[in-house]
Structure 1
């Protein structure tokens, strides 16, 4: 009788285990839209953390009595860690779980915000600001990864659109809020708001965020480090490298425009920090309009021509329009306050065309490597953004000259390179593309497959253990 009871207990344990695994796959999907709204609110924090700080640059420069090159490091170094953080934070959440990583990042963000607030030395402030950006911006990759886990496949597009909406709205309001806080309380008022947001992130992620990736993997350092390095291999793929550099350079130019606007408003127009924030609103508005038109256009050309290269039509048009508008932006910068605001809106309209066309093209080539591609795209963007942030200081004395240089490079070098990529991939369909890149995919270390196999092996080991326990009971 006891043997029968023990056997039933083992069977119940196995059934409970299977039920738990099933719940791990289905429970998150049942939390739409509450979970998605939670992710949108968490995504607000890293975007706000960057754009709200820009109007504070002149105030930080004056408070610490430092030169502009040093003060600008709070932006340029911040941007470079944005590129590296997805390489570390994203794969780490695959190993340790999304919830643990978000809670850890939020806690570190809170402590580093406090460090910045209490800083009396510019070096300590820069260190705190840069590491703060590493942790909070690393959450972006975790948030995007969570969307595909909380929603069924037919609603993932809706989830990504919701995140894009959250980002655009945050860009719209962040500079104005940041400028108002700095105008009323200096830059310290801004960092008090970061403390509040950090506390909110900890509370939400600890009490309300449900784990979407309940991993049972062994924490092997070797595999974890390999997953960090894996995306870098895309730099050795000529076609991928060129298209990523094209997109990254364009993002670097838009960053040049975003960073230089509050500096110009302060130096030449002598407006307050509140107006500096208001002057950045066209960035978000232009991106919002661009996102509205860009997606349908990319889908239209893809459906019409049914080739991977057709996605780049929108990107090529965006590059041409961006290069022309970049010239007129510099031309109007010191001549008409409202003129450069209009050009600012148009620039951000076209940059969305370039970004979305490039990302959709690359995701079409490597549909199973989207997370790694996303990480390498962000890394490339951050490298160019860091460079252009530092150049913006040199451009303050003669900004029009720098905008001429940027527009010429965009029109005479970036545009022809983009057209060559478009032409070479024009007639290729997705199936043909996948066959062509099959060898490349095999040559790249497939971390995801290795992780999947490890999970299967762990499940098999658990089943073997149950069988052994059953045999022991029977004997």
Structure 2
């Protein structure tokens, strides 16, 4: 029971991949593995969402933390920054370890230590210990997201992996919509320390579910045999320039999203005078666009290869963000025009990360944990560097649009210059294309 979970249909153990050549994106998944059950998607979704929930549920408590621990707002915000730093480092360490020791053991240890550090955060006596504990908390809860990504690659490739990643966005997308409200409610009733108790309870529940329901998807015969092989995996990944290019795309996509998240409160509330309720409504509508776009992508990958979707979606996203900058600079159309373009932009954000991640992971199935860690760390690092530039430029509408344009433009340049996606027939080269589901089924037959 503890090592089995239905995915809707029986899932055979994937064939052992070569350790010398990456499987191309067109390699079909086993036919029986193409339809994961809703419970399987939900489990991977709550695993992947753990770091996001740990971040978002804590946001409303920042002023209370600064006041209660007698510190500055900047120091309180550092508890957020260090959690992201810890998360990036955790992915880089835990991902390779999951290739060496299997998927279940690292995530069970990581989530258990997330619970411990959450409880320690709840009794932190001062801001410095809290900052350190938040970094440790981020390090260990990264195990949940990086292992979830590796599990997807163990069982699915190409369009199937992309479709599953898009379905996960439905679960992950709920976190930024509701976690701050839940965190504010908890902090309002019992204080900010109770938020960390809630995170510990969430982690404990997740640990039990993983123990009982997450199967081991990396058999012993497919694990890396030595510690040297574990860490040399990064050298292999870095030498694959197409993989690095694809791994950058989710980070640049998240930079567009985070620039909006960081800048929109100032743009919409201070710049356009929206009330807190009106802003919450706009934020929720754009959140629906994010989740809805991911589900449209999940449907599209049934007919089109992931790289085909990316090479169409990225130019459209760039044009939309360019239009957003023009509106911000000229004021044309006022707030309604700005909101419409923002909604369309957010609806396209989730077309690139799941497809780029699926293709990148399919190139290195023999070290899926390391590859997932590399993608996740780049995603956190790139977005973490780019998004704060909104504040540096002045937290205005044009500043937000400029940083978003840098992210969208950077992604388009990476795709055009570092991959063959826009060359004639190039998207089928180098394992970039992938087969559609119908093609994969035909090849399997």
Taking structure 2 as the reference length, the TM-score comes to 0.71
CA distances 1:202-240 after superposition (whole Å, capped 9, x unpaired): 3333455444445379997xx335424523544455555
Contact 2:166 2:354 in 1 (8 A): no
Structure 1 partner of 2:6: none
- The 5 A counterparts of 1:356-395 are 356-360=354-358, 362=360, 371-388=369-386, 390-391=388-389, 393-394=391-392
Deviation of residue 196 (structure 1)? 1.3
The 3 A distance-change label for structure 1 pair 75 and 389 is farther
Structure 1 partner of 2:79: 74
Contact 2:117 2:136 in 1 (8 A): yes
Deviation of residue 100 (structure 1)? 2.2
Distance 2:49 2:210 in 1: 14
Deviation of residue 197 (structure 1)? 0.7
Q: 2:406 aligns with which of 409, 422, 431?
A: 409
The 3 A distance-change label for structure 1 pair 428 and 288 is same
Contact 2:325 2:402 in 1 (8 A): no
CA distances 1:18-48 after superposition (whole Å, capped 9, x unpaired): xxxxx9949x989966555444444443332
Please say if 1:287 is aligned against 2:286. Answer: no
Structure 1 partner of 2:234: 231
Deviation of residue 343 (structure 1)? 5.5
Taking structure 1 as the reference length, the TM-score comes to 0.67
Task: Identify which range, 400-409 or 416-425, moves more after superposition.
Answer: 416-425
Q: 2:93 aligns with which of 56, 80, 88?
A: 88
Structure 1 partner of 2:196: 191
Structure 2 partner of 1:6: none
Structure 2 partner of 1:46: 51
Q: 2:344 aligns with which of 299, 321, 346?
A: 346
User: What is the DSSP-based 3-state SS (H/G/I as helix, E as strand, rest coil) of the residue aligned with 1:119?
Assistant: coil
Structure 2 partner of 1:115: 120
The 3 A distance-change label for structure 1 pair 31 and 424 is closer
The 3 A distance-change label for structure 1 pair 417 and 182 is same
The 3 A distance-change label for structure 1 pair 433 and 199 is closer
Deviation of residue 108 (structure 1)? 0.5
Corresponding residue pairs, total: 401
- The 5 A counterparts of 1:48-447 are 48-147=53-152, 159-213=164-218, 215=220, 223-224=226-227, 226-231=229-234, 233-242=236-245, 244-245=247-248, 247-261=250-264, 280-297=283-300, 300=303, 302=305, 311-325=310-324, 328=327, 344-360=342-358, 362=360, 371-388=369-386, 390-391=388-389, 393-394=391-392, 398-400=395-397, 402-407=399-404, 409-410=406-407, 415=412, 418-420=415-417, 425-428=422-425, 432-434=429-431
Task: Identify which range, 197-206 or 354-363, moves more after superposition.
Answer: 354-363
- Which structure would you say has the larger RCO, counting Cα contacts within 8 Å and 6 or more residues apart? 2
CA distances 1:351-370 after superposition (whole Å, capped 9, x unpaired): 21232453355457667666
Distance 2:160 2:301 in 1: 19
The 3 A distance-change label for structure 1 pair 75 and 232 is farther
Task: Identify which range, 371-380 or 256-265, moves more after superposition.
Answer: 256-265
Deviation of residue 287 (structure 1)? 1.4
CA distances 1:371-408 after superposition (whole Å, capped 9, x unpaired): 5443322222211222245445545x543452254255
Bigger share in helix:
1
Distance 1:415 1:191 in 2: 40
User: What is the DSSP-based 3-state SS (H/G/I as helix, E as strand, rest coil) of the residue aligned with 2:423?
Assistant: coil
CA distances 1:270-301 after superposition (whole Å, capped 9, x unpaired): 977x9887664345312112113334456655
The 3 A distance-change label for structure 1 pair 341 and 84 is farther
CA distances 1:220-272 after superposition (whole Å, capped 9, x unpaired): 7xx33542452354445555545544553342232232234457789887977
Contact 2:246 2:359 in 1 (8 A): no
The 3 A distance-change label for structure 1 pair 328 and 88 is farther
Distance 2:249 2:155 in 1: 33
